[in-house]
Amino acid sequence: DAGVTQSPTHLIKTRGQQVTLRCSPKSGHDTVSWYQQALGQGPQFIFQYYEEEERQRGNFPDRFSGHQFPNYSSELNVNALLLGDSALYLCASSPTVHTEAFFGQGTRLTVV
């Protein structure tokens, strides 16, 4: 089992650009959640997908959007990047909602 995989590992973007981050869940997991982690802070919930639908959404602006595909993989899109969007973006998958979460290695996004 490959575990949760995220791509790319690192990314540098310019203010105003758009970015897409990708996540493949563990085999057999149908629930994918995305988190943003600033330095020295705990991860903050962005949104959760279950059966290709956005099930829950945290307090993030509409610039943050996502998608889940039929194979349960997921994308996180951020438009009009701001310097404050620089963070570690983490993807987690679970067998279903309210079960153990397994995280990927994260994508380090730097906005310059």
Partner 1 sequence: KQEVTQIPAALSVPEGENLVLNCSFTDSAIYNLQWFRQDPGKGLTSLLLIQSSQREQTSGRLNASLDKSSGRSTLYIAASQPGDSATYLCAVDPANQAGTALIFGKGTTLSVSS
Q: Which of 54, 60, 48, 104 is nearest to 84 (CA)?
A: 60
The minimum distance between CB 17 and partner 1, in angstroms, equals: 23
**C-alpha to C-alpha distance for 72 and 21, rounded to whole angstroms:** 15
Parallel/antiparallel/unpaired status of strands 107-111 and 10-13: parallel
Site string for partner 1, 55-74 (x = CB under 8 A): -xxxx---------------
- 22 part of the interface to partner 1, by CB under 8 A: no
Per CB under 8 A, which of residues 31..50 are in contact with partner 1?
33, 35, 40-45, 48
Query: Pick from 20, 65, 86, 105: which binds partner 1 (CB under 8 A)?
Result: 105
| Helices H / strands E in the chain, number of each | 0, 11
Site size for partner 1, by CB under 8 A?
28
Query: Burial, 30: exposed, middle or buried (Cβ in 10 Å; 0-12, 13-18, 19+)?
Result: middle
Residue ranges binding partner 1 (CB under 8 A): 4, 6, 33, 35, 40-45, 48, 56-59, 88, 90, 92, 98-106, 108
